[in-house]
Chains A and B, each alone.
Chain A
């Protein structure tokens, strides 16, 4: 093995790859402007107040403060308002946790919601729910901020005027009464993904009572292609549920299945478990990813085939043909007739070798292989992937089939549009969907909707559809409504409210009941009535209470067994292989705001994308070669034109994207939604077509001008730059290299351990327990859930794009992404979460002039916010660049509703104060206090979970007592893969990392 293969190059940006010096690196792109403004020239104004005005104002306010000196000496009088009748078991100031469920498209996750004195403040995963297993995605974590979004719709609107609820209900009734009277004539009910058994039953009942009404499904997160593909393979309402738990060969076709698509939380956990290499007999899974987008899943791949979106099907044809030719392959019912339909796919030498090796690998792992397909690919690709699964014996093992018997068979938006155009639909009620914004661009849906005589819209925001509707009603958030959900795998769980509706809004099921009957029915009654009926007439109160407690409804999963059969598939496979030239536009769900439903969520907008590290915007992502051929540099505007429309947006060079492809993340460019979403990104929905939702042919030309993109990929670099040798921050090896040299991490060190000496005495830590953390880079997918959990737990502010451009984002734990390899367009990647490393000999502490940061006896690098005077020396001296400074009062003047999200156990930091990760010191204190009250000095292992650890879908983060050799963290740190960053500086960090291991197929190396 060559030396470069053993020690591949790691780089954060293309300029780093080009080994440009720091200065020229910054000069290359729009980041230059960002870096320059960080020098201070742009800082002279603060929210429109110039420095001179500021001094004048300060003088005046000081004079006023002097006049009112009384206010300085006497603390303000504070009142205590106890309950008149305190609920039993409620202890003021102690959080209570309730099980509930969160739904996103067809994905259902069990959650546990922390309730602080009646306010939901944080979402955790429900450990008992099979789809979450204790973890929560960044979307579930961020949903609590969405709940308190001050710009959520608060009152009903009738034709541009806010009205009362009574008036709204009268208008609603007036609008739909004629349709109800005529059996649903002209009525269309537009719903988003309906996973609630209660809601499904309601809609089925509605179909019976109002037979002429249409039910339309409009949700970009609804896996329409996967559902259609499963139907092609196994009949209507069939659902294929893949599981990676026992999968050893995993093939992903164009989908971000580990982060933003489908059951990603469960898949990520299973995937990481299957990659454990420190177990007695490691049997590491192998991930192959085929597709145009370099997303978090592609970054985890052992082998990636970079192909354009339209060629994914071609590769799959080749794979199925190769499987059929591989000795030892299994059989799939009806698959024999497929060979003709598959034709001769045009695969070049590299791709042919790839599918051949892949087919052999899959057959060798019969029953342990699985092919997963992303939602961007058409239904026939999904169906053909099921053929491949059947051929390698996946059915019943890595893919389970069931019939989702009560699945909603809604019409599509195209059918609704046709109805609106021919006048057969007059009344439209939209529940939670937003078709005016996210309908395909070529549909012209907004114009058709205008023909309806009455449009009512219910949504969390008065969004694009709400603005054109005759009547807009605020919809209840899941944290304030009763409901239930059933996952695609059949697990049912309850949704329970944590607080009374903030604005008195009804939920979807309450509104559906109103459409059917015209009467208001409490959601609680509707849900209970449904389950009573499902239980055969009456609901056992004890069972109901148990369901509420665990969140899970323990009824049998049900659903008849299904076996796929491919006899009729051949006719559905398109004959011609698509042309291989010309540009393609790929419409990808954004890794932060998905289809745009989180566009007004500041936490998610400011979250750097999993791979590009882009915040606050979307951009046309393209490979370096494509950008070169177009003659564009990062940040330069490009004009993208498809059959549906055209748009100008900035380009960004994203290594790993397929050639002649632009990736266009959805969900941005919202108008009039809210202040957060207002200036973020560009709306690419007008470019989408209804025929092919995932990608379409496009032309791309250079546009005029530049656009500032706030990309954090070069922020917080830990490399010294100049001519210093590269530091081995992330370490990786192939599994063979690891076997032959288990302590390969040691080889990468730039200074031998015995050479590291200190002239000073090592500090002593006297507490009986010493905290430490271990992060497994082999498991981490870079999904950002930890960053989001930290935001929620530690009251971290959102700073805005202008501040991010200056490198002032506040995330306490960031995820560094390093591209690997020498080819800018064929990279691999490693991600590394970096929070405060809690150095034992912390360089930040020695430079603090006021001792605001000091060490605790249990090894934490404490930060006393109230002592900090803001010199920023500590941040300067931190080699890991994990300290964050409050340049402004980000937490002052926030809306009282938004204040309700804040965690009362963590100080809200003021302007001029440094802050950083403290291993969730509030959780440590809480556990230590509980131990002391219980009469012991020692906290049991596993009692304390840091917020990032708790929510990590892959379990990559482990925290605990490093003195106890049996604690989980000590055992993980005992791995030969264990290393600390920058060991040569003798900082003795408490956070250490486990090196990444790759498992390449020997045939493909």
Chain B
């Protein structure tokens, strides 16, 4: 009677024993890498309805972030500017540019421009810009070098572990309060010590407990 299992099956346990841990490790590693926001989210660069260039406005022209995102110091959201803000300049500058057709339409009809959201947190995470600005966390720390982006892309994973990394040790991410929107300020060369900064009335003390961000 022929054997039920052919002879090569004798090697199966050996192969499983030898390759199992490798496969398992690879699967875990693959999920770790490819399923993390670091891979899935960072670099997200959707096409926007208007080809607005931060590199031009914030970079070359050197406009302050807060000229447009003017609620960032007082509110949770750094509001996307109203069309009227664009038209402050563009009623004078490049008034016939085809790229600005949607902006002019919006201004005339009152219809909103449908920007695509890039920095998107889950609804149960209540991020608030205001205390971060007040603490001296630079725009560039979370949003990257916006001043060099022709089209904005996501530069950080915005995952909970990424948030907590800074909340547990904020000092390396702090800068002088007047340099928050300064894209060129370099923490590596600045050698900034927040505890010795007389402009600060309090030292930062970011929450690490659940209700700090979840309500």
Contacts and interface: CB of A to CB of B under 8 A. Distances in A.
Contact of B106 (A84, A857, A866, A925): A84
Contact of A856 (B81, B107, B111, B211): B211
Interface stretch (B3-11, B72-80, B91-99, B188-196): B72-80
B161 interface: no
Given A74-B40, A856-B209, A933 B130 contact: yes
Contacts of B106: 84
B59 interface: no
Contact of B122 (A866, A906, A933): A866
Interface string B186-215: 000000000000000110010101111011
Contacts of B122: 866
B214 A84 contact: no
A241 B52 CA distance: 65
Contacts of B112: 81-84
In the complex, which of the residues B110, B115, B211 has the most CB atoms of chain A within 10 Å of its own CB atom?
Answer: B211
B76 A93 contact: yes
Contacts of B14: none
A84 B210 contact: no
Contacts of A78: 116-117, 120
A85 B81 CA distance: 9
In the complex, which of the residues B120, B201, B214 has the most CB atoms of chain A within 10 Å of its own CB atom?
Answer: B214
Given A78-B120, A85-B110, A907-B124, A93 B214 contact: no
B115 A92 contact: no
Given A94-B75, A854-B210, A866-B124, A82 B134 contact: no
Given A866-B122, A937-B205, A84 B107 contact: yes
Size range of the interface on B?
A: 35 or more
B126 interface: yes
A747 interface: no
B109 interface: yes
A862 B213 CA distance: 11
Contacts of B73: 933
A936 B202 contact: yes
B214 to A, nearest CB: 5
Interface in A71-87: 73-75, 77-86
Contacts, number: 135
Interface string B97-138: 000000000110111111111001011101010110111000
A98 B120 CA distance: 31
Given A860-B211, A933-B134, A91 B84 contact: no
A864 interface: yes
A865 B207 CA distance: 18
A84 B110 CA distance: 5
The binding surface of chain A is classed by DSSP as loop
Given A93-B76, A905-B126, A854 B215 contact: no
A74 B133 CA distance: 30
A862 B131 contact: no
B210 A932 contact: no
A82 B109 CA distance: 13
B139 to A, nearest CB: 16
A92 B112 CA distance: 14
A358 B153 CA distance: 79
Nearest to A919: B211
Given A84-B107, A856-B210, A907-B215, A92 B202 contact: no
B19 interface: no
Nearest to A92: B79
Contacts of A862: 209-211, 214
B215 A929 contact: no
A967 interface: no
Nearest to B106: A84
A855 interface: yes
Given A79-B115, A866-B122, A86 B214 contact: no
A94 B70 CA distance: 13
Contact of A865 (B35, B41, B117, B214): B214
A935 interface: yes
Nearest to A79: B114
In the complex, which of the residues A75, A80, A924 has the most CB atoms of chain B within 10 Å of its own CB atom?
Answer: A80
A661 to B, nearest CB: 48
Nearest to B37: A75
A921 B82 contact: no
A932 B135 contact: yes
B156 interface: no
B82 A82 contact: yes
Interface string A78-108: 1111111110000111100000000000000
Contacts of B215: 905-907, 918, 921-922, 925
A854 B113 CA distance: 42
Contacts of A85: 82-84, 107, 110
Nearest to B103: A84
16 contacts: A80-B116, A82-B81, A85-B110, A854-B210, A856-B207, A856-B209, A860-B211, A862-B209, A862-B214, A907-B123, A925-B211, A933-B73, A933-B74, A933-B134, A935-B202, A936-B201
Interface of A: 73-75, 77-86, 91-94, 854-857, 860, 862-867, 905-908, 918, 921-922, 924-925, 929, 932-933, 935-937
Interface of B: 35, 40-41, 46, 71, 73-77, 79-84, 106-107, 109-117, 120, 122-124, 126, 128, 130-131, 133-135, 201-202, 205, 207, 209-212, 214-215
Given A82-B79, A85-B107, A854-B209, 14 more contacts: A73-B35, A78-B116, A80-B80, A80-B114, A83-B83, A84-B109, A92-B79, A93-B71, A93-B75, A855-B209, A908-B123, A925-B212, A933-B130, A933-B131
Ranked 6 nearest A-B pairs via Cβ: A81-B112, A935-B201, A86-B82, A862-B210, A856-B209, A864-B210
